[in-house]
Chain A
């Protein structure tokens, strides 16, 4: 507990422990940081002489439990957050070109958007895929597409995030297979699969099977990665889509962490030790328009998760309690009216993420309320992050808003209110039961409707939309996915099917089927099928037959 003396002692421990260790491994960006007028900027500002009683317990130092002030001892003084723009469209070949463009522009991580058929486990030639191929992301039907996607991009040099959920295990297997072909073993691969099915049922909608079977696929990947892929983030527990569906900041934290609890429960239930997998759990939040509340939200989420892991699950390892998260600026706040204003919105929201201590960041493009972003818009979005990082100095000291009466109060409130929701969800039997009963969906829908009504009756101002409006001609360059892409992709798929060893495909698919019917881990069998060039649709088809398909209990 924090007496002045105790706090000094903890500070010393922090300074000589985690900080020294981190510096030895990752030196800071500069020897000395200073403001434009030459005032030195220290690593951290805290309660100094006036030690607060609760400081040590509720805030403590960066990289120390409960991680309110950040997950690393030096944060952005060592290295900026990962600038990771979500992208992908059309075919693997075109997306590969966009990836190379982004890496050339100084982006530091890749983030793949898949098209909807891929996300729902259909090949491009499935009748349900008509009109959807390559639209919201890249179409990946088989290992052949994945090889093309990463052609000329060494997998030991990049970290790759894949927004894939229901068939996450399959895409991960394809990534592993590409790595092997490049000579990069899987224990060297860095990246993330979203793999968060629970939020699909409440917010995003790309589920295939029911919760029970989906949870099995997830715990299978946890287990496989804990044994083979120490650098891989096995899940990105996502509040972003919950927020985009219309929740409040408090609900975003509460429902995301409740889902997180469900995954940890499931993994423990299948026999995994909490400290064997918890450090590879990662999170994903939105950054919406309420400046201080959003910053407080990130800090509160970190603290609450740390406490949950420690108190509820008895995690012994500090790294199991450390919430690392990706942030994306809120797509739902972008307006189709006066779209250039969106650049300003995105700037503020990106800043919130940085002040909240995010590990990586996606900044939205100004034209996303109109269509898929153009290359120019994507570049402005990336430049926004670079300006925040390299010009403003906000990363030169850690958690600079800590100690603000308002920020600390908001942090406490968000944590408290989120915890109240989590208790309610526990009473309903946990997140899966609360989803089944429609509780979470109803809460989100109510908030979404209220928000829209507030905009409609102008109690909430959206500049350019319900105030300061202008008559404008819609003139914007759209990124268009050529309709010919669909036919081209289908052609390539059919060619690939003809060239591959059909017997090997059938054999691996049969093996996958019998494994699905038993309890054994599906990852190795998926990997075999992937290497035999079985398609995503074929593998998901087998799993659909064994596991069935889920119909959403849509709650209005």
Chain B
């Protein structure tokens, strides 16, 4: 069980063991789940910050800057950068490290590049567990950078406490670039590259959209201007990330979110295990293939067959 041997090292903050565990998680190695369950009680300490935004919005540069500011404040950092895999070959080019060179020799910054491996939603399937492993390794802050996000790449909200949505002036034709989906998950907006013309207009536009949002909420996402080249606005951004965490704690939302997250996760794991179990038993058996043929030939219908198979499965589990 290779993953289990790594647990001790991960808890001590050994980056090689952490790196190897994340690989096993990504590869869905059978020992990874056991290792994660051993690590579970050591998690829940890190502040998890998601950074998302449309392609070209300067997410990596922003992450680098935020990291530098946190390092000034003596925080340790883990970073997971997610890039899309090629739908044709399954391969991926992971280039986010390029912008993070200034932290590359800092032992208190751990950077991991990750391919989505075909997973949709802006993250890899393994991202959530990788974040957990980094959390267990003792990093104070874990930053998750998503793939360039459109409307549906919103899964980061399930992983992060605080979601930053980054945008640049003129990144899209207009505000459409960050409409709908990712607009709603933002806890903080950042308009990056403040020296470009149109940054102020972008801030006004985002604020105007927030005014239109009729949902009741006690945290109105602030809209901040930063310049990733000069670092202007970054200390304020890091302060605001902290303020968002205090808000979550003071209002009890953190606890509430934690409960919700545990519930979702438990249900997801059960669902995955159940279906996995069910299909492992069914697939390839002659009865199952026969039933499918019958459905296709209109000699039976999928509704009744499903009822029957699940009932049989439950009985066999009981026995």
Contact = CB atoms under 8 A, between A and B. Distances in A.
A and B touch in the complex (CB under 8 A): yes
Interface of A: 210, 437-438, 551-556
B56 interface: yes
Given A210-B229, A437-B56, A554 B95 contact: yes
Contacts of B101: 551
Nearest to B231: A548
Contacts of B93: 556
16 contacts: A210-B229, A437-B56, A438-B56, A551-B98, A551-B99, A551-B101, A551-B102, A552-B98, A553-B61, A553-B98, A553-B99, A554-B95, A554-B98, A555-B95, A556-B93, A556-B95
Interface in B74-106: 93, 95, 98-99, 101-102
The secondary-structure label for the interface of chain B is: helix
The secondary-structure label for the interface of chain A is: loop
B293 to A, nearest CB: 44
Contacts of A552: 98
A556 B60 CA distance: 15
Interface residues of B, number: 9
Nearest to A553: B99
A205 to B, nearest CB: 12
Given A551-B102, A552-B98, A553-B98, 13 more contacts: A210-B229, A437-B56, A438-B56, A551-B98, A551-B99, A551-B101, A553-B61, A553-B99, A554-B95, A554-B98, A555-B95, A556-B93, A556-B95
A3 to B, nearest CB: 48
A153 to B, nearest CB: 41
A547 to B, nearest CB: 11
A438 B101 CA distance: 19
Contacts of A554: 95, 98
A149 B222 CA distance: 60
Contacts of B102: 551
Interface string B183-213: 0000000000000000000000000000000
A395 to B, nearest CB: 47
Contacts of A210: 229
A432 to B, nearest CB: 11
Contacts of B61: 553
Nearest to B168: A437
Interface string B35-74: 0000000000000000000001000010000000000000
A553 B60 CA distance: 10
Nearest to B101: A551
A552 B99 CA distance: 7
A210 B193 CA distance: 14
A210 B229 CA distance: 9
A437 B229 CA distance: 14
Contacts of A438: 56
Among A210, A555, A556, chain B packs the most CB atoms within 10 A around the CB of A556
A425 to B, nearest CB: 15
A555 to B, nearest CB: 8
Among A438, A551, A554, A556, chain B packs the most CB atoms within 10 A around the CB of A551
